[in-house]
Amino acid sequence: MSTRIENKQTKADNNTSIDELLELEAKYCSWGDTVHYSKQPNIFKRAEGSFLYDNEGTEFLDLQMWYSAVNFGYKNKRLNDALKKQIDTLPQLACQYLHEEKIRLAAKLAQKSEMAFEEKGRVHFNVGGSQALEDSLKLVRNHSGRSLVFAFMGGYHGRTLAASAITSSFRYRERFGHFGERALFIPYPYCFRCPYDKKKDFCDFYCIKQFGKLFETEYHSVVNKKNNKCEFAAFYVEPIQGTGGYIIPPQEYFARLKEVLDEYNILLIDDEIQMGFYRTGKFWALEHFNVTPDIIVFGKALTNGLNPISGVWAKEKLISPDVFPPGSTHSTFSSNPQGTAAGLEVMKLIEDADFNVSIPKKGRYFVSRLRQLQKKYPQIGDVDGLGLALRMEICEKDGFTPNRELTEEIERIGLSGKLCAGGKQRGLVLDVGGYYKNVFTMAPSFYITEKEIDLGVELFEEALIKALKNS
Ligand SMILES: Cc1ncc(COP(=O)(O)O)c(C=O)c1O
């Protein structure tokens, strides 16, 4: 099992017992992050490939990979070596000065985006996803002179104040006062649980029609019909809704949405923080949907979870030095050389790989294995995937009513590290998301093998059987 509270005798490296560590944690660590969503948080010690290891050496297959930040596998040698080389040459540099890796990384990202969307643009770096998102809000305000934006119900854009203001959950804002510029939240095309109770094959994009209705008269409060000026400057989208449950919209959805946005001069802001860098089988997830964004926000997998770098790509007209001059935004660690070195190597690794072929292939295999399980267990309500962004909804026996308790029990059993496969004690790391917290959002390593996928399915089934017995 992973190192857990009841595990009194286990010693950590520095001879501190795990119990002592957890006591220190209880006393000195803020519990304001997400660690204590779990009653018995795990302490991990080592990581490699698709696996995490605890103090006792128990192997945990990880199907979430730091919420899709470690797309290229734990301890990826090529990326780690690039970082080590940077540490030995230019480990630190104030971001006021230039270094080669920053320039080359920005160029590669801008060239890749230009290839994808036939638009020239520039890149601005920051440290975490939420900070980059805040930079994008500055670009939007600077360009439009307006500060209100649309975002999706179920959307997640981070937890700094501005990012929380466009993240749909009130829970994340509840204790932090009034958010004047909070987004107007529009239903996401979550077809398995259509917010309008429609059926996908017959709805004729009813949700887009409803959004369009907002613009029908001035009394719907978003547009001045005399000059067609909209009070809302931009629409923030996740092409695949991440924390919302890896929800995949219908193929035509974004093109139809864009028709409305273009009519009222509303910018399309593409949050690729979780789905970017090939998670869905394309460099940017929005490439699946034949629309061009005005701004892309990215983070997470750019450095494979090593020294973090996030950033924005924006169309030239939004970010050229004429309109976004020096000093418009800044953070001490924004283009730190260790992060840019790791990011640059990620881009080179992507150029050398065939992810556009291997990821869809692995994704199809994984989904087919999960659908086999679905046939055996009515509690598996929906299985879907795009590339290696996979989802599985856990429900009551009717295959629809969300079953949060069962989902949490499966997650807990996986993390207890007491599963058994191939004659070995093992664990399974799963991430839970979705509006009803009943969706396993799976983001395995891009290097996961068929054998490891089979292992994941075997471990999941074992956890499910145990959880059903306990319920
Ligand atoms: C789509 C999306 N946007 C923004 C964020 C926030 O990024 P960070 O946690 O790096 O601030 C996340 C993080 O999970 C995300 O998934």
Strands (E), 49-155: 51-54, 59-62, 121-126, 148-152
The rounded distance, in Å, linking the Cα atoms of 12 and 414 is 22
Q: Is the CB of 242 under 6 A from ligand 1?
A: yes
Average pLDDT, the chain: 95
Q: Is the CB of 241 under 6 A from ligand 1?
A: no
Q: Is the CB of 245 under 6 A from ligand 1?
A: no
What's the pLDDT at 177? Answer: 87
Give the angle 401-406-407 at the CA atoms, nearest 5°.
90
Q: Is the CB of 156 under 6 A from ligand 1?
A: yes
φ, ψ for residue 391 (rounded to 5)?
A: -135, 150
What's the pLDDT at 169? Answer: 95
Do 307 and 330 lie in one domain? The reply is yes
* Structural domain includes residue 128: yes
The residue from 303, 326, 352 where one domain ends is 352
Q: How far is the CA of 154 from the centre of ligand 1 (A)?
A: 13
C-alpha distances in Å from residue 338, one per residue of 68, 76, 156: 20, 15, 28
Do 269 and 172 lie in one domain? The reply is yes
* Structural domain includes residue 62: yes
Q: Which domain holds residue 49?
A: 18-75+355-470
Nearest CA to ligand 1 atom 16: 274
Do 300 and 394 lie in one domain? The reply is no
Beta strands 121-126 and 310-315: pairing type? Answer: antiparallel
Do 89 and 28 lie in one domain? The reply is no
- In sequence order, what are the beta bridge partners of 432? 440
Query: What's the rounded mean pLDDT across residues 323-342?
Result: 97
Do 69 and 94 lie in one domain? The reply is no
Q: What residue type is assigned to position 188 of the chain?
A: Y
Determine the number of helices (DSSP H) and then strands (DSSP E) in the chain: 13, 18
- In sequence order, what are the beta bridge partners of 62? 429
Percent of the chain with pLDDT over 90: 94
Q: What residue type is assigned to position 447 of the chain?
A: Y
Do 93 and 206 lie in one domain? The reply is yes
The rounded distance, in Å, linking the Cα atoms of 132 and 125 is 7
DSSP 8-class letter at 118:
S
The rounded distance, in Å, linking the Cα atoms of 370 and 385 is 10
User: Which two structure tokens, joined as six digits, stand for 275?
Assistant: 């789905």
Query: What's the rounded mean pLDDT across residues 19-44?
Result: 94
* Structural domain includes residue 9: no
Specify whether the CB–CB gap between 229 and 144 falls below 8 A. no
Query: What's the rounded mean pLDDT across residues 457-463?
Result: 98
Q: How far is the CA of 274 from the centre of ligand 1 (A)?
A: 6
What's the pLDDT at 180? Answer: 80
What's the pLDDT at 5? Answer: 40
User: Which two structure tokens, joined as six digits, stand for 238?
Assistant: 């996740």
Whether 176 has a pLDDT exceeding 70, the answer reads: yes
Give the angle 129-241-223 at the CA atoms, nearest 5°.
90
In this structure, the chain runs to a length of: 471
Query: What's the rounded mean pLDDT across residues 278-306?
Result: 98
- In this prediction, residue 3 has a pLDDT band, given cuts at 50, 70 and 90, of very low
What's the pLDDT at 7? Answer: 44
- In this prediction, residue 40 has a pLDDT band, given cuts at 50, 70 and 90, of confident
Do 310 and 250 lie in one domain? The reply is yes
Query: What's the rounded mean pLDDT across residues 196-219?
Result: 97
Nearest to 427, CA basis, from 468, 385, 466: 466
What's the pLDDT at 178? Answer: 86
Which tens digits make up the pLDDT trace of 230-259?
Answer: 999 999 999 999 999 999 999 999 999 999
Which tens digits make up the pLDDT trace of 357-387?
Answer: 999 999 999 999 999 999 999 999 999 999 9
- In this prediction, residue 127 has a pLDDT band, given cuts at 50, 70 and 90, of very high
Percent of the chain with pLDDT over 70: 97
- In this prediction, residue 179 has a pLDDT band, given cuts at 50, 70 and 90, of confident
Specify whether the CB–CB gap between 382 and 391 falls below 8 A. yes
Specify whether the CB–CB gap between 295 and 236 falls below 8 A. no
Do 347 and 367 lie in one domain? The reply is no
- Domain with residue 368: its CATH number is 3.90.1150.10
User: Which two structure tokens, joined as six digits, stand for 9?
Assistant: 């005798």
The rounded distance, in Å, linking the Cα atoms of 31 and 33 is 6
What's the pLDDT at 16? Answer: 64
Whether 15 has a pLDDT exceeding 80, the answer reads: no
Which tens digits make up the pLDDT trace of 93-116?
Answer: 999 999 999 999 999 999 999 999
Q: How far is the CA of 152 from the centre of ligand 1 (A)?
A: 15
Q: What residue type is assigned to position 197 of the chain?
A: D
Nearest to 101, CA basis, from 85, 116, 115, 117: 85
For the chain, what is the domain count? 2
If 0-12 CB within 10 Å is exposed, 13-18 middle and 19+ buried, where does residue 370 land?
Answer: buried
Which tens digits make up the pLDDT trace of 57-97?
Answer: 999 999 999 999 999 999 999 999 999 999 999 999 999 99
Nearest CA to ligand 1 atom 7: 129
User: Which two structure tokens, joined as six digits, stand for 457?
Assistant: 């399915």
Do 393 and 336 lie in one domain? The reply is no
What's the pLDDT at 4? Answer: 44
Query: What's the rounded mean pLDDT across residues 388-408?
Result: 98
Do 62 and 87 lie in one domain? The reply is no
The residue to mutate among 241, 300, 310, having the most atoms of ligand 1 within 8 angstroms of its beta carbon, is 300
Query: What's the rounded mean pLDDT across residues 414-440?
Result: 97
Q: How far is the CA of 69 from the centre of ligand 1 (A)?
A: 10
Q: Is the CB of 243 under 6 A from ligand 1?
A: yes
Do 430 and 455 lie in one domain? The reply is yes
Give 3-state DSSP helix, strand, coil % of the chain, rounded to 5.
40, 20, 40
- Domain with residue 196: its CATH number is 3.40.640.10
What's the pLDDT at 9? Answer: 44
Give the angle 408-413-417 at the CA atoms, nearest 5°.
140
Other C-beta atoms closer than 10 Å to the C-beta of 166 total 26
User: Which two structure tokens, joined as six digits, stand for 399?
Assistant: 């295959």
Q: Is the CB of 157 under 6 A from ligand 1?
A: yes
Q: Is the CB of 433 under 6 A from ligand 1?
A: no
